[in-house]
């Protein structure tokens, strides 16, 4: 609070350039919707139910890696590095084939061990 007061005092005395964002009216906003995320027991039940199924790797990457659905659908087994223990997420099924943002392009560490241990490693 002291820093804010010091900055305002400096602006009033023309010691610093005013921040025009301070002049904007900030809306109150609306309350958000309740979370639809799974709790730990529900997530473990989904993973257990999917084990042995063809889509288990998709479910595992989506739930354990925090991957968006359009990113998970674009993954290929060639993007699983068994030696390095990573899964490369560099594209999606969007029109541009790009991830949502540049920062979304990433390597997921230790997730490949989970996928390979599923017995469905794309061989």
pLDDT digits (tens, 9 = 90+) for 70-120: 888 888 888 888 788 888 888 888 777 777 777 777 888 776 666 656 545
Would 76 be classed as within a structural domain? yes
Asked if residue 94 belongs to a domain, the reply is: yes
Give the model confidence (pLDDT) of 16-61 as tens digits.
Answer: 887 777 777 888 888 888 878 889 999 999 989 998 898 888 888 8
Q: Give the model's pLDDT for residue 118.
A: 57
* Residue 28 in domain: no
pLDDT at 32: 84
Host domain of residue 70: 40-117
**Helix, strand, or coil (residue 79):** helix
Between the alpha carbon of residue 113 and those of residues 7, 23, 110, the distances in Å are 52, 52, 6
In a domain, 122, yes or no: no
Give the ranges where the chain is alpha helix by DSSP (H).
2-12, 40-50, 56-65, 69-74, 111-117
Counted domains in the chain = 1
Q: What is the C-alpha radius of gyration for the chain, rounded to an integer number of angstroms? A: 23
Residue 71 has a pLDDT of 87
Q: Is residue 82 part of a domain?
A: yes
Let me know if residue 22 belongs to a domain. no
In 64-123, DSSP assigns E strands to 80-81, 86-89, 106-109
């Amino acid at each position: 609070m002291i820093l804010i007061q010091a900055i305002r005092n400096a602006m009033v005395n023309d010691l610093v350039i005013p921040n025009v964002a301070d002049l904007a009216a900030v809306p109150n906003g609306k309350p958000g919707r309740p979370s639809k995320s799974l709790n730990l027991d529900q997530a473990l039940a989904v993973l257990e139910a999917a084990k042995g199924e063809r889509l288990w790797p998709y479910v595992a990457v989506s739930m354990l890696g925090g991957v968006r659905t359009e990113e998970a659908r674009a993954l290929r087994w060639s993007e699983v590095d068994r030696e390095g223990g990573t899964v490369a997420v560099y594209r999606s099924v969007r029109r541009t084939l790009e991830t949502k943002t540049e920062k979304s392009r990433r390597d997921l560490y230790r997730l490949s061990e989970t996928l390979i241990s599923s017995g469905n490693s794309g061989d």
